[in-house]
Structure 1
Amino acid sequence: MAIKQFPLPDVGEGLTEAEILGWRVQPGDAVTVNQVIVEIETAKASVELPCPWAGTVRELLADPGQTVEVGSPIIAIDMGGAEPAGEDGGKIGEESNGRIATLVGYGPRTTSTKRRPRKGQQPAAATAVAEAPPQPQPEPQPAVPAAPAAPAGGYVPLAKPPVRKLAKDLGVDLHGLTGSGSGGVITREDVQSAAGAAPVAPVAEPGARERRVPIKGVRKATAQAMVNSAFTAPHVTEFLTVDVTPMMELREQLKSHPEFRDVKVTPLAFAAKAVCLAARRTPDVNATWDEAAGEIVYKDYVHLGIAAATPRGLVVPKVRDADQKSLKELAQALEQLTSTAREGKTPPADMLGGTFTITNVGVFGVDTGTPILNPGESAILALGAIRDMPWVVDGQVVPRKVCQLALSFDHRVVDGQQGSQFLADVGALLANPAMAITY
């Protein structure tokens, strides 16, 4: 019988740990090569890991909710007798030097670590039992009903990320719930019902009305990135208030256009197009400061980052080559990107290599802000809420659709002239979309 342990691989850019979100298999289940066996959360996103071998699950070596270091074994697979060989004579899912082979684009780092015992697990007893002298038998005792055994491997019924967050916010332990959803999935109603049935303490002890949430995953990575950005790049922020009435009128017209009938064209899509066009005249905003090389790197492409709020924290997935896309293509890409991000399914690779970022604070009803640069970029645009406000048109005060823009930039790369020019260009394109034909 061949038992192999699968160590947690590095699924991103040098990540050192990940949290086990939920197992897709249990001890005794048969598995095949590249079958998804577990979902983990890294500092960048949630990732589904495939199995590198075919066989039977012998043991789950990490519990849901546990943070595991890269290289630590997380599952034991019984491969049943001889280990099958691949086409090159090596073992399935394993290289000749014994490391786990790359699976669906991810590869592990070799690390020598020991698995921590599960809570309540006792060390294995000595095996020399056969030679021990016979012990006197105790008198029979009345039978006591046994407590129900915990599911093997610390299995937790499935729950979507927003439901997990709700449970944490309400202080509900998912271990004690039985999901009413399809396949035993825990729903929001299950969590809310459990929270409503919880007893209320008659006297609040110190700290009883406080919650402590570990800083990890996306929140930990975001915090570190923002600190590094704020204290590395000298930020400058400029503001511009724009009459976007023509843009909103064009948006309404596009709704009835056959080409845009099934496309959700949002103000963010117009802003994305305006940024790509304006960057042609001011390439400084799409450049990078390379401290090590002592160079400014100008990019002839725009990988546009869109800041998205998710249950796990802020993520910034990218629209690759956004400058090559039409307004319709941008609208479609943005809709798919934000939907995937909110579901927590954005692959780590989709959040790397951005050149410019837009943060749409207007969706929260906020007028403007002072955004912090995404590390490695030189500018970020905040798009505020669009409101009906009084505006002077041809000497008359009339109600118009008005929006505030805020541009933060790295003053090492972008001077005040270039920053002001870029912001004015974006504003002009949103105030008069017909100007796009001149860019």
Structure 2
Amino acid sequence: MSHYYSSIKFSEKNNRFSHNLEADYTCFALWKSARPYRDKIRALLSAKFEILLETEIVWSKENFHDNAARLYENPLYDSIPKEKRKSQFADKLGDEKFNLFVIKDIKPDYAYVISTSKIIELSNLNTVHVKAEIRKWIFNDLGVEYAVHSTNGIYEFFFQAPLLLGVELFNTLMDGETPTIPRITKDLEGANGWSNWEELFKILNLTNNYLVLKNHEGFPHENSYNHLELLTDNYQRVASALAINQLSSDGSKGFIKVGGTNIPVDIRFIGDKYHNTSWQKDMLNKKVNKNGYFELRTDMYFFSLLYSCKVQKSTVTDKDIEILDKLAKDLKFTWYEKEMLHSDDAIGEILKGYFKAHQYHYEDPIDKQLSQKRQIIRHLPNENSIIVRESKKTKLKRKIKDVIPESMFPLLKNIYNKVR
């Protein structure tokens, strides 16, 4: 059975929050200074929750700092060679070995909590309180503050657990099995690059809410474009999951290694205005999984590719023309002809109609490297055009009300009805 990050949904009832999984799950990691407390911690966890897995994880020295940075969602900048990277969390972890407990909580209690990194998010109070209790033991004995780490909520668990354990073991635990595995000697998934695209997307499906924006023909078996463009609601979580070497000048861009080849990556995210923000949210909410990865729904793919080709690029490639033509035929767009791509006005009017139907408006993207073809943009609704404007009749009525006492309205209405 597959378990996808983006399938998790929270709901609220009577000020109580809950997600749609039958139980909650948490990882507890015992760093070096906490290892002597393993038996005591196990006793507490087993009294409060069901322990699904207890194991020791051993990372390599080569990937220790990158593993630590990725686990805590810190960037791996391309400006610093791998062998010279030093994670700010290295001292906290102590060394490459740590104990890991995966627990199941059948009665989670979710509320908004301020984490130690000052993030305010929905968290399971049960696990938050247990972590605080364990940390207090160790601090009182050793003066060490953060000797134990845990995931605070179900989204963080789905991000960290697959990276730590691998896809197969993660799914085994989520299916209710409790395997006995004393030691796991492995780095985070993808630490030395990805063997193939299938491997990459299996991790991405579990750890992030994302979709492939375009140029995915041939996925997941091959990528003839040698480029990956994603849309997500959390670009750093995507970058950390995939071990992307991020550009120090722009963390939403970088490269990954797949099958021994360096692949450029662009991570578009909600609010970057690569597309209208409402459009981006609709894309993620209505995405589809057809071939083992998430992509745009067919109609959204057509209009977003048309927008990208004509607004954000200086030229339209033959491949783009071919894809758009096929999508239009599949969608029975009898009004579309590929010759229209030669006319900025024709495409501007098509995009205008689509934008107006969905109440989207044009926004200048954060990424200034993108082309912005004003001949088409001028057709599109903008922020000013979405303001509701009064008709002349409505405006006149409002002005009359401003100057005539309300007590006069019935008399004026009678007079109007008699002379009408």
TM-score, normalization by structure 1: 0.24
The structure with the largest helix share of the pair is: 2
TM-score, normalization by structure 2: 0.25
